[in-house]
A and B are shown apart, each in its own frame.
Chain A
Amino acid sequence: EVQLVESGGGLVQPGRSLRLSCAASGFTFGDYAMTWYRQAPGKGLEWIGVTRRGTTEYAASVKGRFAISSDESKSIAYLQVSSLETEDTAMYYCARGSGWHDYWGQGTLVTVSS
């Protein structure tokens, strides 16, 4: 069974950093790109970026502050979020693939507040 489990979210002060994790199981991790999205409370979905075979691509809104990486040996994708702003408060999701996504994690909530 394919599973994606995010972790690492929480309450953080503005300007601080967090590393979010997405642990994958039930498929060959290295065969797939992994994409990160976020959804602010009551809002729609926003693409953050994608990692595939060591390359990454980012949305303009987060480029330079967010970094995506992965550890194929552990089947984990990471999202390093830095210089956090209150506007970064959202549920963060990982999803399998780079186009359409048949599997999503349950999300991890990041709340940026002083």
Chain B
Amino acid sequence: EIVLTQSPGTLSLSPGERATLSCRASQVVGSSFLAWYQQKPGQAPRLLIYGASSRATGIPDRFSGSGSGTDFTLTISRLESEDFAVYYCQQYGSSPRTFGQGTKVEVK
């Protein structure tokens, strides 16, 4: 099983600042099968990025993903008020599918 470790656990930032979230895998994630989701309280996850760097339909270009192998990054270039949420990475290159424990982006 691939274990995903996200850091930091909490990111305290102000609107307009840049957010950099990390996801490290315990093994190589095949074919960069890595996705990022945003989740707000009481809501289902929302797909942001798939294939490590492809933005999902309707996702603003302030969200970008990068990385390969075992190290992946989600960057939010300029935080908007609606971006404060919990973010999860997920690998789908092997079974079982696994998620990181999440990074909470909160208002500083």
Residues of A within 8 A of B (CB): 35, 44-47, 57, 59-60, 93, 98-102, 104-107
Contacts and interface: CB of A to CB of B under 8 A. Distances in A.
Given A93-B44, A105-B44, A47 B57 contact: no
Main secondary structure of the interface of A (DSSP, over half): loop
Contacts of B95: 57
Closest 9 CB pairs of A and B: A100-B50, A99-B92, A104-B44, A47-B97, A100-B35, A45-B99, A59-B96, A102-B47, A44-B101
Contact of B90 (A59, A100, A106): A100
Interface of B: 33, 35, 37, 43-47, 50-51, 56-57, 88, 90, 92, 95-102
20 contacts: A35-B97, A44-B102, A45-B90, A46-B99, A47-B97, A47-B99, A93-B45, A99-B35, A99-B92, A99-B97, A100-B35, A100-B47, A100-B50, A100-B56, A100-B90, A100-B92, A101-B35, A104-B44, A104-B46, A105-B44
Contact of B98 (A47, A98, A102): A47
A106 B44 contact: yes
A102 B44 CA distance: 11
Contacts of B46: 104
A93 B56 CA distance: 20
Nearest to B93: A99
A41 B52 CA distance: 28
Contacts of A35: 97
A101 B96 contact: no
B45 A102 contact: no
Contacts of B47: 100-102
Contacts of B96: 47, 59-60
> Could you say which of B57, B88, B95, B98 has the most chain A C-beta atoms within 10 Å of its C-beta?
B95
Contacts of A46: 99
B77 to A, nearest CB: 22
Contacts of B88: 44-45
Contact of A99 (B45, B50, B101): B50
